Structure 1
Amino acid sequence: MFAQGTKEQVERSLMAVRRHPLIISAEAGTLPLEHSKRWIFCAGRESRSFPWILKDLLAWTSDEKVKTILEENLYDELGSGDPSHAHFLHYLHLLDDLRVPRAEFDNYQERLGIKLALSLAFNIAKSRNAGRAIGYMLVNEAMTPVTYTAAKSALTGHFPHLRTNFFDLHIEVDDHHVAALYEAVEALPETEREDLEFGIALGRRGMEILLDEAYGIFDAHLEPIAITAPRWNPLTGVGEGTQAAG
């Protein structure tokens, strides 16, 4: 009923992500190796979590079409019957090809971007709200060709002989997932429109803040701000607090 409007909103979300400076730099071949590696660490956190997000969605989904889509997606993630081809294993092989020790990946200090992105995903997966879940999944899957093609371009600029199975596999299968999710959108009642649109907006928000982390936006201040400290008390003077914060 409202699939056309949904496609237009998804396309606007994709265009916004394409304009992120990290994507622009990656596609231009000017993204520094440091940012490329950080991006890969964020993508790995997402890849490691995604099967669990799908399982959380499957735990409450009652619509048979949506359940089938999620089951197929999970089947793909786990290697389509062959565990040696699980998507996260392809990610670990990518780390090996980049000569990144597993300990470096495990010990990566997560900033707010990936923390928020994963928190959004898990909360939507447990929300028991079909419209939001479908909207989030739709834009998340539709972004794969944009983000992974750019990541592939950035990394192969630094490592010309890099095997890119991890990226290629996701780009190939996510086109099928997106088409299936649009079929689920067609079956949604009109009452789900606002939740669907909100889910799409959340998916875009999660991806943009993940890209912000890879781009270094959260590097300057890693410690949480203790706003209960005396310097934040408005009765002690804003000027003093502002000066102390700087």
Structure 2
Amino acid sequence: MDAQQIKDQVEEALEKVRAHPLVTSALDGTLPLANAKRWVFCAGRESRSFPWILRELLAWTKQEEIREILQENLDDELGSGDPDHAHFLHYLHLLDTLGVPRGEFDEYAERPGITVALSLAFNVSKSRNLGRSVGYMLVNEAMTPITYTAAKRALTHHFPGLTTNFFDLHIEVDDHHVAALYEAVAALPPCDLADLRFGVALGQRGMEILLDEAYGVFDSHTAPIDITAPRWNPLNAPA
């Protein structure tokens, strides 16, 4: 398959993520600490779940080239055999550096952004659709340098002495994973193009709504909305 169409779509998705107000305000030093902290919590939910998503993909993926990429990714997440270098452990060390109690992370009340983002990821991993999964993984990994660079800049603005390798570690390995995934795309048959494109769109959607949550888009109304309640009946609306 000619991977250029996918590369073009991924670049369009990355430009939209770069333009998200959370990313732009993080880079220019105007993102409030509360939003930066919430992004850390959302990223932590994603970091904690990612190994399980990779395991789900490995459970049914049969194409050896893609299995190798997924296994290498999983090995990186788990510290390549050294538990002290597992990515989520680096995340917990980041919380310690920021002075955030781990209980506060565990008790963070998830809003629709992270809920939908994780639901998309788990459903893609169980879809048994190789094109969709590769497209999703490709854009998800390609967005890491953008979002993690912005998050590091925002946190460093609020914590000038911050030292952590959590962000740089992800950026370095994800650049490698993206290159490998593009090689995998080239090896897929042309009939997988539509599924690849749909997977890229799902990955973009998941990241944007996660950033929406961190930016505070869902703060005005946090309780579940029951559309069967009388208040939502159009016949009860004021004249």
The two structures have a TM-score, normalised by structure 2, of 0.98
Kindly provide the amino acid, as one letter, of the partner of residue 34 in structure 1.
A
Q: How big is the shift at 1:196?
A: 0.3
Distance in 2 separating the partners of 1:164 and 1:205 = 28
Distance in 2 separating the partners of 1:117 and 1:90 = 22
Aligned to 2:196: 196
Kindly provide the amino acid, as one letter, of the partner of residue 129 in structure 1.
N
- 1:111-132: CA deviations, max 9, x gaps? 0000000000000000000000
Q: How big is the shift at 1:48?
A: 0.2
Q: How big is the shift at 1:228?
A: 1.0
Aligned to 1:121: 121
Aligned to 1:43: 43
Q: Does residue 2 of structure 1 match 2:2?
A: yes
| Paired residue secondary structure (1:59) | helix
Q: How big is the shift at 1:134?
A: 0.2
Structure 1 gaps, min length 5: none
Kindly provide the amino acid, as one letter, of the partner of residue 58 in structure 1.
L
Distance in 2 separating the partners of 1:31 and 1:164 = 19
Contact 1:152 1:164 in 2 (8 A): no
Alignment identity in percent?
73
Aligned to 1:93: 93
Q: Which runs of 4+ in 1 moved over 2 A?
A: 230-234
Tell me the number of residue pairs that the alignment of Structure 1 and Structure 2 aligns.
239
Distance in 2 separating the partners of 1:92 and 1:190 = 42
Q: How big is the shift at 1:81?
A: 1.6
Distance in 2 separating the partners of 1:208 and 1:230 = 32
Q: How big is the shift at 1:164?
A: 2.4
Pairing 1:117-196 to 2, within 5 Å after superposition:
117-196=117-196
Could you say what the CA RMSD is over the residues aligned between the two structures, in angstroms? 1.0
Structure 2 gaps, min length 5: none
Aligned to 2:209: 209
